[in-house]
Structure 1
Amino acid sequence: MKLLQVFAHVVEAGGLSPAQYRLNMSLSAVSAAISNLETRLGFRLCDRGRGGFQLTEGGIWCIRSFARSALRSGPSTGRSRPIRVTCRGNSTSRWTMRF
């Protein structure tokens, strides 16, 4: 599964633990995917741990960019489903994306 898709599912679910069930992945695999994406991008996407899940400014930027890219690519084909993503930071925005 693509790293950005995993990240979008984590954001939609509100954390890694709830996302693992939606993705049918282990918690360690979800965490590794997010860490891999952070390494590739060169910045932290979210704060995660016992204190809860919180997007960083970089994570908000990333999910917004991903949403814009998904919208530019036009309607999807095949077996896609809409995913609503809500980002909370300095502002709240909502998008519907299809994978």
Structure 2
Amino acid sequence: VETATAMSILMQGMSFIELGQEFGRTKLLATGENGELTAADRERAMNSYNAPDSVNQVNWNLINERQESIEFIRQIIRLKTQTSAFSYPTYEEV
């Protein structure tokens, strides 16, 4: 996941990070009988517009648990903003 995120951030143009991506947020919420993910759980995670708050809420405690991932994202953003090879100034140069 970190490699894909780094590639996305370092590409030319504006970067986009989904809310919570930097600390591993997922919308997968297991509701199966034994705590397993069901087909309906996966469907809700893919299109959670009408899903309950339990699916769409952000677990802000993950910020404390995943500081290493957050720092990695900070370093990648810093690399992009401080290295001219990752940020061409004009459209023509891209």
User: How does the TM-score come out when normalised to structure 1?
Assistant: 0.30
Relative contact order (alpha carbons < 8 A, sep ≥ 6): 1 or 2 greater? 2
- Whose strand fraction is larger, Structure 1's or Structure 2's? 1
- Specify the structure having the higher radius of gyration (Cα): 2
